[in-house]
Structure 1
Amino acid sequence: MSLTKDELRASNAARQTEVEGRWSELLRPDHLAATVTLCLGVALFAFNEFLISTALPTAVEEFGGAALLSWAFTLYLVFAIVGGAVAANQKARFGARNTLIAAALVFVTGTVIATVATGMPQVLAGRLLQGLGEGIIAAVCYALIPELFPPRLVPKIFGAEAIVWATAAFAGPLISGLLTEYWSWRAAFFVNVPAAAMFLVLVGAIVRQPGQGGKKTTGSVPLLRLTAFGIGILLISVSNMAGNGYATAALLLMALAVFINTIHIDRRSPNAILPSGAFSVGRPLGTGLWLVLLMPLAQASGSVYLVYALQHLWGFSPTAAGFSSALMAMSWSATAILVASLRSHHLRVQLIWTGPLLLCLGLIGLTLAVGTGEHRLIFISQIAIGTGFGVCWGTLSQLLMDVSTIEERDKTSALLPTLQSAGYAIGAAVFGVTANALGFDEGASDPVMSAAMLGVFAIGCAIAAASLFFGARTLRLLRYAAPHGQAAEQISR
């Protein structure tokens, strides 16, 4: 039903009071515990990623089995995505508090197993459980944002989470490096335990368990579809370890077939994992989800190969090369804070399309930097890429929650971090195939390596251009729906 002019004017007036949320409100007694809890949930995921990536090589040196190093990351990623996919179902069945507590205990169990491991098989088992627990925690924390905070504070909480990620990007490798060098790699693993214990206490204190009448009706866990999704992600991850380009391409095609078939089955299921309209090009939710997938996929070109290129093509030290990633994280966080401080939700929504545009320009800059040998372009490009994510990511996440029905909001919210992880995984595999096909190798000459990097970043540009199309289409669909009353509230807020 369309809104009348008077109703729309009243809605705008009511929303105007809501858009004036202040950062200081996150620290008020009625929101402080919820803010700390959700940021700590994100911190567990973010710090664990940077802590473990720094400490794992030392564990491999102690136990041997260097060939299993990649599996420590692969198993974590696969089960994090599976955990995220099942999170909405578990939240509906058991409530957010019980689900978070169970997931945190699974994460702690995995951490302890890896910490006391006597060989790589135990480390792998611990990483598997860490991934499963973290996937559920990240997804449920996203789903709780619109439940624990009024709309005026949702942009601020996304900005706060961006600060957590930037802090993890800086402090994670430093803390892990110091613990590993002066104590033990086991200490870098174990540091997650007290953080998880604090998270458990906060969840028990602030997340309310719904009464019997408040629980949603949900079907059984769709194990077959979850297994299929997991196999698809595993095929993608394994493809990056394949010995030749043909085997890699075959594994990627198999993964694509698995995803298409599983999504088709899921859409017809009464107990769907995905929200209705997911990936539909005719609905804002569908095009927005494509944006969530494609932007990390395109950015993976830089995250996988940029530091390596700086060290081997321009002779940068590891610290100096790593500064490029820090620039991206700083730009993301700084821009996210600025955008979250804008009082007009309408303006924030209209800025969404500039995110993929800046990403595309940044990747074009990386391509030009490799082609011309001008390394200073890399740092400018990294700032552009980080700014692109910062200007749109929080608003896009809030928008997708807004356009979902109340019944499916949990599915959409939980899907966001899961889809982001899937984008990075797919991107790493796609760009691995590209680089290997163009002759990328540890002993490759500089011209061959430059050609491989050009191919990687050129494909990244093409994927970023596709994300720009979906960003612009999302806004067009919202404008079309607004006169019919279907999205007027989202645009006017």
Structure 2
Amino acid sequence: MNDPATPTSAADPPALPRLGVFGLMLGIFLATLDGQIVSTALPTIVGDLGGLDHFSWSVTAYLLTMAASTPIWGKLGDLYGRKGAYTSSVVLFLIGTVLCGLAQSMGQLIAFRAVQGLGAGGLMVGALSVIGVLVPPQERGRIQSMVGVMLPVAFVGGPLLGGFITDYLDWRWTFYVNVPIGIVALLAVGKGVRLPAQRVTGRVDYLGAALLTSGILALTLLASWAGTTYAWTSWQIAALAVVVVLSLAWFVRVELRATEPITPPRLFTSREFTLAQVLSLLVGAVLVSVINYLPQYMQFVQGASPTVSGMLILPLMLGMLTAQLTTGRLMDRGGLDRIVPLTGGTVTVAGAMLLLLLGADTPLVAASALTLVIGAGVGILMQSTLLTTMNSAAPRDMGAATGTVTLVRTIGGSLGVAVLGAVHSSRMADVLAEQLGTDTEKRLTAGGGLTPALLKDMPTRVRHTVEDAVSSGLHGVVVGAAVLSVIAFGTAWFIRATPEPDPAAAATAAPESAPDKDSVRAPHVD
């Protein structure tokens, strides 16, 4: 394989000006904001376009294509240029966004959401890979802290903005609002990011990409359908499980032999990189599961509206934001690679245990405040995992590395919701059946007909039983989150602390300088 082109000026690494940072941050914000805005508008969209039976596919199509395309975008950036890959993903995302706004049927919306997801897969990984090669390790924590601010803002502001647009404008503007943000991101990155010319002579590992995509699609469908659309023991779920195992096993075999693998096996020769992926999987499962089931408790037990229930978990988001800001600063100093995730695991376990205090008689203010601690723990784990991943990867593999950690966190979230969701449903069913009888339990839970609005008109005994059942289901979820957090704590014990960065050495290192043949063919060693 030929060497990549060497930059003409490698003495001084190119700076990443504020305009460039702003453009990259907008891309990350866009990727997170879109899903949150649209989620609020979906009931209105279905009422306008029809196709209630295909409602879930408008979400699933987006998540599937986004997850499947994430590592591919990362590899395309490594091979053909990160800036070009990033801007291409923004353009594709905006095309899909406009098409979604123009959709005239649910079938069209699902197809256009898939196109939008293909572009979204490159937004975050593209921004992170550019940051990874232009920002020296001792300053990445500061930049990643900015990323940490964007995510909670998007999580909280998205549903509120989506509800406002749907109520006072038109649901189509929940898509169109992305367009000006995307255009500003393109202009800012085009003007503010300067990367040395680089092109690695190689071809995309198409077979590996196809196998990885098949495995991810099957895994996401399995996580979405198991225990809901189909029983865990059904042939459909068994077939998906077989596809997952065969696709991913074949993918590993192909990657070991490919010249330019989608996920370079050399990345996993670093113990810290491998452990960071395990932590990313675990923290993804904890975060997505808790965020999905806390609002349900707030609505069914505390009587909050959907919008207010989102506001009630603001302490969780505040905890995440504060922890990510602090963690980035601390890890800039070096030597804390092991201490920080250990702390994150401890805080997350404590936060999950505190959520066991939530019940039918918990005051509303206390219920909201109790979410703060688990948010802080998750924030610490997410930030330290991302920084460890970036610091463990060679510059030429930065796109693949950031794509891997993002993908693994997404997979963790899907699996966490599937497994802990099954625990939630089982505990709810047990309480309802025990107190109201099996027939009533089936009548209440069949087809997802039990809603907070209907609950208000039910007899007092039934209402209190449902509140107890929902609380019990949430307890099952948080116990599972605590177990995953304990595993994360144990995993963090094996991370080795890196020495404090040497400013003099960092100043002379070119982040995007071309590796020689040995560094291309051999695993990277820090």
Fold-level match, TM-score > 0.5?
Answer: yes
Residue 470 (str. 1) matches residue 491 (str. 2):
yes
Selected match of 1:230 from 199, 207, 217: 217
CA distance in 2, matches of 1:415, 1:91: 13
CA distance in 1, matches of 2:487, 2:501: 24
Greater Cα shift, 404-413 or 172-181: 404-413
Q: Which amino acid aligns with 2:284?
A: P
Matches within 5 A, 1:332-343: 332-342=320-330
Match of 1:326 in 2: 314
Asked if structure 1 preserves the Cα contact closer than 8 Å seen for 2:74 and 2:399, the reply is yes
Q: Which amino acid aligns with 1:46?
A: T
CA distance in 2, matches of 1:361, 1:277: 36
Match of 1:482 in 2: none
Match of 2:3 in 1: none
- The superposition leaves residues 341-387 of structure 1 with CA deviations (integer Å, 9 ceiling, x where unpaired) of 44622246522211122112212222342498576664344211211
Q: Which amino acid aligns with 2:222?
A: L
Selected match of 2:28 from 42, 53, 57: 42
Larger Rg: 2
Residue 396 (str. 1) matches residue 396 (str. 2):
no
| Pair 1:295–1:99, CA change in 2 (3 A) | same
Greater Cα shift, 323-332 or 230-239: 230-239
Residue 103 (str. 1) matches residue 83 (str. 2):
no
**TM-score, normalisation: structure 2:** 0.78
Asked if structure 1 preserves the Cα contact closer than 8 Å seen for 2:36 and 2:154, the reply is yes
CA distance in 2, matches of 1:319, 1:112: 26
Residue 215 (str. 1) matches residue 236 (str. 2):
no
Selected match of 2:374 from 381, 385, 391: 385
What is the DSSP-based 3-state SS (H/G/I as helix, E as strand, rest coil) of the residue aligned with 1:290?
A: helix
Match of 1:268 in 2: 256
Selected match of 1:72 from 54, 58, 76: 58
What is the DSSP-based 3-state SS (H/G/I as helix, E as strand, rest coil) of the residue aligned with 1:246?
A: coil
Selected match of 2:470 from 449, 454, 465: 449
Matches within 5 A, 1:84-483: 84-208=70-194, 210-211=196-197, 214-215=199-200, 217-221=202-206, 222-228=208-214, 229-239=216-226, 241-247=228-234, 250=238, 253-254=241-242, 257-258=245-246, 260-262=248-250, 264-270=252-258, 271-276=260-265, 283-342=271-330, 344-347=333-336, 350-370=339-359, 378-440=367-429, 441=445, 442-443=449-450, 445-474=466-495, 478-479=496-497
Asked if structure 2 preserves the Cα contact closer than 8 Å seen for 1:235 and 1:254, the reply is no
Count of aligned positions: 453
Asked if structure 2 preserves the Cα contact closer than 8 Å seen for 1:233 and 1:255, the reply is no
Asked if structure 1 preserves the Cα contact closer than 8 Å seen for 2:227 and 2:422, the reply is yes
Q: Which amino acid aligns with 1:436?
A: S
Asked if structure 1 preserves the Cα contact closer than 8 Å seen for 2:209 and 2:262, the reply is no
Greater Cα shift, 88-97 or 193-202: 88-97
CA distance in 2, matches of 1:283, 1:70: 39
| Pair 1:54–1:240, CA change in 2 (3 A) | farther
Asked if structure 2 preserves the Cα contact closer than 8 Å seen for 1:349 and 1:491, the reply is no
CA shift for structure 1 position 490: 6.5
User: If each structure's helix is expressed as a fraction of its own residues, which one has the higher value?
Assistant: 1
- The superposition leaves residues 36-68 of structure 1 with CA deviations (integer Å, 9 ceiling, x where unpaired) of 011111111121121111122211111121222
Greater Cα shift, 256-265 or 286-295: 256-265
CA distance in 2, matches of 1:96, 1:153: 20
CA shift for structure 1 position 259: 6.2
| Pair 1:162–1:306, CA change in 2 (3 A) | same
Asked if structure 2 preserves the Cα contact closer than 8 Å seen for 1:88 and 1:414, the reply is yes
Asked if structure 2 preserves the Cα contact closer than 8 Å seen for 1:85 and 1:273, the reply is yes
| Pair 1:252–1:381, CA change in 2 (3 A) | farther
Any stretches of 5+ residues in structure 2 without a counterpart?
Answer: 1-14, 430-444, 451-464, 507-526
CA distance in 1, matches of 2:239, 2:362: 34
CA shift for structure 1 position 279: 6.8
When the two chains are superposed, the root-mean-square deviation of aligned CA atoms in Å is 2.9
Q: Which amino acid aligns with 2:383?
A: G
Greater Cα shift, 246-255 or 325-334: 246-255
| Pair 1:404–1:237, CA change in 2 (3 A) | same
CA distance in 1, matches of 2:286, 2:268: 17
CA shift for structure 1 position 174: 2.0
Any stretches of 5+ residues in structure 1 without a counterpart?
Answer: 1-28, 480-486
Greater Cα shift, 200-209 or 297-306: 200-209
The percentage of counterpart residues that share the same residue type is: 23
| Pair 1:127–1:89, CA change in 2 (3 A) | same
Q: Which amino acid aligns with 1:179?
A: I
Greater Cα shift, 407-416 or 435-444: 435-444
**TM-score, normalisation: structure 1:** 0.83
